[in-house]
Amino acid sequence: MKKKTIRTGIVGAGFAGTFHFGCLQKVYGTDVEVRGVFATDTEQASAFAQQRGIRAYVSLDKLLDDVDVVHVCTPPVVHEPIAIAALERDMFAIVEKPLTGYFGDGSDDFNGDTFAKQDALDHALASIERMLAAEAKSKGQILYAENWIYAPSIQKEREIIEKTGAQILWMHGEEAHSGSHAATYAHWKFSGGGVMIGKGCHPLSAALYLKRVEGKTRNGTPIRPRGVSARAHAITRLKNFEDKGHIRCDYHDIDDFSVMHVVFDDGTIADIFASDIILGGIHNWLEVAANNHRTVCNINPNSAMKTYNPLEVYFEDIYVVEKTGTKQGWSNPSPDEDWFTGYPQEMEAFYRSIAYGEAIESDSNIAADCISTIYSAYVSAEKAGAEVPIKTF
Ligand SMILES: NC(=O)c1ccc[n+]([C@@H]2O[C@H](COP(=O)([O-])OP(=O)(O)OC[C@H]3O[C@@H](n4cnc5c(N)ncnc54)[C@H](O)[C@@H]3O)[C@@H](O)[C@H]2O)c1
């Protein structure tokens, strides 16, 4: 069969735009023609385009004129309008995490610490509804770029659940490191919250996904989250925090530690940690305690490789693993970090879906449930952990 050619465009020329472009080079099920990039930082967009031999577009509209799909690789605050613009033209939108959220009331003195979190939940749910309504009217679709769902260890666990009819009793997982570097990350008005949304969305989405898989396998219907109790803290903003220079600590109005205790509609549970206070490199894992097996998905670090380096300087030019503080001594280099993280797998799945209509694992519904759970969790954290019900989609 002749491969279809899909014309594509990238919106955002930063960190995510870079790895999306890189992963597009690995898509093999379709031919991908990257037409160009659009970003509000026009200098960054020009450099991005020049380095890759693609065009830098002057507006989103002009880019949309030339493509079948756009990658939404911008800060979360503009995911909704960009995705809707694509959907209104019957195009596909590959949307980075988090799908959407609440970014304040537009006032200069908006402060993530002090506003009523019920507002955030109400606005985030309204944003979700607008995106889902646009998708329902469109011939295009939202493809939710949640790489954890496509990480090979999570997909292997899916196979175990499907083939053994497992019942998941408890999951616990974490995404953590020593602090995100994007300047905008420090402000609720750009990120829609702190670490609970920025990092918590990854293990949470994987947990929501696996309970859906279990429900569909055992009863024909997905098992959804029902309620959440959460705590969120700003540890590096504590007056008594002593900065030794290893942990980012210039956050403006966001949480840097969070825990969500999710109760599913079958009464089983998941505990999801997210933080920006962890040394030793990125710490991404999910453990599944089922009635017939137990699995630990070590996304990063994992034990695929172990190396001992007696002197930092030897590894000066060698990438070891995300966010590691030192390359000296024993470490776990990731021989193909993108692969373990699920980036090329999600792109392959999305382009097969666009070209041939193949079903995807990470759709707008799971993205919506994730956002709904997290903003319910912020409401709970404001009430020092009281359980808050979750609306599902
Ligand atoms: N899945 C992952 O592992 C992962 C990792 C990092 C970031 N992300 C997500 O990717 C998204 C982008 O993050 P990033 O780290 O690349 O940010 P970044 O700051 O590195 O880049 C953002 C880019 O978006 C552009 N931009 C901003 N507003 C725009 C607008 N209105 N229209 C067009 N372009 C606009 C900027 O000019 C810049 O080029 C976020 O949603 C983030 O959560 C996901």
Q: What is the pLDDT of residues 120-135, one digit of tens each?
A: 999 999 999 999 999 9
Contacts of 55 (CB under 8 A, 6+ apart): 35, 36, 37, 49
Mean pLDDT over 38-44 rounds to: 97
Is this model's pTM higher than 0.85 or not? yes
The one-letter amino acid at 380:
S
Q: How far is the CA of 75 from the centre of ligand 1 (A)?
A: 4
Q: How far is the CA of 367 from the centre of ligand 1 (A)?
A: 17
pLDDT for res 196 = 98
Q: How far is the CA of 387 from the centre of ligand 1 (A)?
A: 32
CA–CA dist 264, 276 (Å, integer):
27
Nearest to 99 by CA among 176, 204, 9, 21: 204
CA–CA dist 297, 157 (Å, integer):
8
User: Which of ligand 1's atoms lies nearest the C-alpha of 182?
Assistant: 19
**DSSP secondary structure letter of residue 392:** -
The one-letter amino acid at 249:
C
CA–CA dist 149, 173 (Å, integer):
13
Q: What is the pLDDT of residues 169-197, one digit of tens each?
A: 999 999 999 999 888 899 999 999 999 99
Domains along the chain? 5-145 (3.40.50.720), 169-333+361-389 (3.30.360.10)
* pLDDT band per the 50, 70, 90 thresholds, residue 1: confident
Q: Which two tokens stand for residue 191?
A: 């990120």
Mean pLDDT over 221-226 rounds to: 98
Q: How far is the CA of 93 from the centre of ligand 1 (A)?
A: 14
Q: How far is the CA of 79 from the centre of ligand 1 (A)?
A: 9
Which protein residue has the closest C-alpha to ligand 1 atom 7?
Answer: 16
Q: How far is CA 302 from CA 171, 293, 318, 323, 361, in A?
A: 19, 20, 18, 14, 24
**Residues flanking ligand 1, CB < 6 Å:** 11-17, 38-41, 44, 73-76, 78, 96-97, 147, 182
**DSSP secondary structure letter of residue 40:** S
Give the count of beta carbons closer than 10 Å to the beta carbon of residue 27. Answer: 20
Among 106-115, 126-135, 377-386, where is mean pLDDT lowest?
Answer: 106-115
Percentage of residues in the chain with pLDDT exceeding 90? 97
Q: How far is the CA of 199 from the centre of ligand 1 (A)?
A: 14
CA–CA dist 226, 325 (Å, integer):
39
CA–CA dist 281, 77 (Å, integer):
28
User: Which of ligand 1's atoms lies nearest the C-alpha of 341?
Assistant: 3
Which among 46, 73, 189 is the best mutation to test ligand 1's pocket, defined by most ligand atoms within 8 Å of the CB?
73
User: Which of ligand 1's atoms lies nearest the C-alpha of 13?
Assistant: 39
Q: How far is the CA of 182 from the centre of ligand 1 (A)?
A: 9
Contacts of 165 (CB under 8 A, 6+ apart): 217, 218, 292
β-pair partners for 330: 308
H runs (alpha helix) in 261-363: 337-341, 343-356
How many CA atoms within 13 Å lie on the side-chain side of 193? 35
pLDDT for res 309 = 97
Which protein residue has the closest C-alpha to ligand 1 atom 6?
Answer: 16
Nearest to 191 by CA among 178, 182, 202, 179: 182
CA dihedral 339, 340, 343, 344 (to 10 degrees): 30
**DSSP secondary structure letter of residue 363:** B
Q: What is the 3-state secondary structure (H, E, C) of 166-217?
A: CCEEEEEEEEECCCCCCHHHHCHHHHCCCHHHHCCHHHHHHHHHHHHHHHHH
Q: How far is the CA of 350 from the centre of ligand 1 (A)?
A: 19
CA–CA dist 344, 26 (Å, integer):
7
Which protein residue has the closest C-alpha to ligand 1 atom 29?
Answer: 40
Mean pLDDT over 260-278 rounds to: 98
Q: How far is CA 195 from CA 124, 222, 230, 277, in A?
A: 17, 27, 13, 10
CA–CA dist 28, 31 (Å, integer):
7
pLDDT for res 108 = 80
pLDDT for res 279 = 97
pLDDT at 2 over 90: no
Q: Measure the N-to-C terminal CA separation of the chain; round to a whole number of Å.
A: 37
**DSSP secondary structure letter of residue 288:** E
Which protein residue has the closest C-alpha to ligand 1 atom 18?
Answer: 14
Q: How far is the CA of 377 from the centre of ligand 1 (A)?
A: 24
Q: What is the pLDDT of residues 54-98, one digit of tens each?
A: 999 999 999 999 999 999 999 999 999 999 999 999 999 999 999
Nearest to 343 by CA among 2, 63, 71, 78: 71
Which among 61, 62, 74 is the best mutation to test ligand 1's pocket, defined by most ligand atoms within 8 Å of the CB?
74
Q: What is the pLDDT of residues 302-319, one digit of tens each?
A: 999 999 999 999 999 999
How many CA atoms within 13 Å lie on the side-chain side of 138? 22
Which among 10, 15, 48, 144 is the best mutation to test ligand 1's pocket, defined by most ligand atoms within 8 Å of the CB?
15
